[in-house]
Structure 1
Amino acid sequence: MNARKWLQSSGMKLGTIVTIDHAAIVEIARLAGFDWLWIDGEHGRFDEVSAATACAVNSGGPPTFVRLPDRSATSIKRFLDVGCDGIILPQVSSAADADDIARAALYPPRGERSVGIARAQGYGSRFEECLHSQDYAIVVQIESATGVRNAEAIVGHAAVDAVIIGPYDLSGSLGIPGKVDAPQVVESIAKIQAICKEAGKPCGIFAATAEKASMYAKSGFDLIAVGMDCSILLGGYEAMRARIVGGLKADRDMREDLRPT
């Protein structure tokens, strides 16, 4: 599929973050019916090998985007070679950062990406096609006060296909870590979103909860990544345990109430 065209298609696209580097987790997330999957190589456990496996497991399913551990040229070329539909670059704070990304991610003459044969090139079967066309997307994260100040130049960069806002890192950069609903954070998010809309670039954001995701959807975000596998698993286990323990306690309390005095 052409991920760049997919990003430009209409409608909100709901995804989730996968951090646990196991094929079963990727398959479960796919079966849940999300519009796209975010495979995390920055804070998650994914490397190039497990990211390639995730992309293969999800082949034919929703688009698979991989967040890289950093913005180095080596990481960019190695993760692009796994055959993902797009890469997500963390902590992009300037047009110069976007220039560096473009050089590493695009083949000549647009960039300086070196030529390799891997899953992305169909192990050679799609080599010529890959050299002369770009169907993968380049998505940058704006998640710092400096990035907000330079948002217009970042969003307007020709190599940038979409932007995802990192509200938690942004709150930390603004000196109020974790307070994603603070006015400074909300205003910064709105500024980036407005710049993206003016430039015709899709704008996304991470939402920790379903309630927050619904709020962002109503605000007109194009891409939303809600939750992550580890917190979803933990929340599910905790809720199940609380329900059982709470039910047992209620039964004990009822028996105590019925006991003759």
Structure 2
Amino acid sequence: MREIESLKLRWKRNEVTLGAWCFLPDSLSAEIVAHSGYDWALVDMQHGCMGYETTVEMIRSIELASIVPAVRIPWNEPGIIGRMLDAGAMAIVAPMIQNAEDCRQLVHACRYPPVGGRSLGPIRVGAHQGLGYVTTANDKISVIPMIETIEALEAVEEIAAVPGVDALFVGPFDLSMALGLPPGDNDGEPAFDAAIKRVNDAAKANGLATAVMSTDKLAPLRASQGFQMISVMNDSVSLGMAARASLETARESIVENKKDA
């Protein structure tokens, strides 16, 4: 397995990185997704159905494809952040960051001293990467607060200026609801478009990347807006769409065959 290059190194080269979102609690499905050619795959512990042990196995499966394993933690809490990093996560996406102080706490939990307060004990990732892990972890791990509330949007310039942040992640569904819009991608709505621009402007002013949960069809627009970390599929939706499409094809074929009989 080749060494996995960090997302923030690729962002510094102005690359757009495309990824997959994993809601399903299964290491095999994560492995299949990871080997499909994505730049990263994210295990969603906030809204997905997996617990700690399953997440560890999913991180391992993603690593087998030599792409970045990312985790959206359930909450901005040092204990789970440390456990996910010790398991091998190379990017931490933190939901419901409201202000710069929340963001400072996130960075502190993600970084080893002297720049942070992460406890030393990389049992699983150390076994995988060796003793060199500890000396390089601060440089390789991407810290990514989510901007998805009015409070966060109003404080986005201060959040972006927190030392140690690598990208700002827009949660379009929650942010849309906070703006009084239907949950979803509300491109063309002035408030939504202004929010997207404000986040990207704040990130650019501080040398950060921006990230977003999106779709394959919207990816070109998001890239043109400046996003460099874009999810283009999620496993639960893709499985449902494929299942319905297969069933529809089979039923239509059966009907056509009966007509020709």
TM-score w.r.t. length of structure 2: 0.88
Q: Is the 8 A contact 2:69 2:88 kept in 1?
A: no
| Among candidates 91, 99, 111, match of residue 106 of structure 1 | 111
1:142 alignment counterpart: 147
1:244 alignment counterpart: 250
Deviation string for 1:21-40 (max 9, x for gaps)?
Answer: 21111111112111111111
Residue 92 of structure 1 deviates from its aligned partner by 1.2
1:215 and 2:221 aligned? yes
1:93 and 2:94 aligned? no
1:17 and 2:24 aligned? no
Q: Is the 8 A contact 2:71 2:91 kept in 1?
A: yes
Residue 249 of structure 1 deviates from its aligned partner by 4.1
Deviation string for 1:188-227 (max 9, x for gaps)?
Answer: 01110122122221111111x3212232123332110122
Q: What is the alpha-carbon distance in structure 2 between the residues aligned to residue 75 and residue 179 of structure 1?
A: 28
Q: Is the 8 A contact 2:143 2:166 kept in 1?
A: yes
Structure 1 gaps, min length 5: 257-261
Q: What is the alpha-carbon distance in structure 2 between the residues aligned to residue 211 and residue 117 of structure 1?
A: 39
Q: Is the 8 A contact 1:19 1:230 kept in 2?
A: yes
Q: What is the alpha-carbon distance in structure 2 between the residues aligned to residue 69 and residue 57 of structure 1?
A: 21
Q: What is the alpha-carbon distance in structure 1 between the residues aligned to residue 93 and residue 168 of structure 2?
A: 9
| Among candidates 190, 200, 223, match of residue 207 of structure 2 | 200
Q: What is the alpha-carbon distance in structure 2 between the residues aligned to residue 179 and residue 231 of structure 1?
A: 14
1:57-96 aligned at under 5 Å gives the runs 57-59=61-63, 61-96=66-101
Q: What is the alpha-carbon distance in structure 1 between the residues aligned to residue 14 and residue 176 of structure 2?
A: 29
Aligned residue identity for 1:50? T
Aligned residue identity for 1:191? R
Residue 2 of structure 1 deviates from its aligned partner by 5.1
Q: Is the 8 A contact 1:117 1:124 kept in 2?
A: no
Distance 1:64 1:9, change over 3 A: farther
Count of residues paired in the alignment? 253
Deviation string for 1:42-65 (max 9, x for gaps)?
Answer: 111233322221222222511111
Distance 1:48 1:179, change over 3 A: closer
Instruction: Describe the SS at the equivalent of 2:212.
Output: strand
Residue 244 of structure 1 deviates from its aligned partner by 2.6
Q: Is the 8 A contact 1:67 1:88 kept in 2?
A: yes
1:118 alignment counterpart: 123
Q: What is the alpha-carbon distance in structure 2 between the residues aligned to residue 125 and residue 193 of structure 1?
A: 37
* Alpha-carbon RMSD: 2.2
Q: What is the alpha-carbon distance in structure 2 between the residues aligned to residue 133 and residue 84 of structure 1?
A: 10
Identity among equivalent positions (%) equals: 24
2:196 alignment counterpart: 189
Q: What is the alpha-carbon distance in structure 2 between the residues aligned to residue 111 and residue 136 of structure 1?
A: 13
Q: Is the 8 A contact 2:146 2:168 kept in 1?
A: yes
Deviation string for 1:211-261 (max 9, x for gaps)?
Answer: 122321233321101221011000111112222323444556x669xxxxx
TM-score w.r.t. length of structure 1: 0.88
Q: What is the alpha-carbon distance in structure 2 between the residues aligned to residue 123 and residue 221 of structure 1?
A: 31
Aligned residue identity for 1:231? V
Flag as ranges the 4+ runs of structure 1 deviating above 3 A. 246-252
1:235 alignment counterpart: 241
Q: What is the alpha-carbon distance in structure 2 between the residues aligned to residue 108 and residue 5 of structure 1?
A: 21
Aligned residue identity for 2:191? Q
Q: What is the alpha-carbon distance in structure 2 between the residues aligned to residue 240 and residue 203 of structure 1?
A: 36
Deviation string for 1:128-171 (max 9, x for gaps)?
Answer: 65157512111111111111111111111111111111000101
Higher Cα radius of gyration = 1
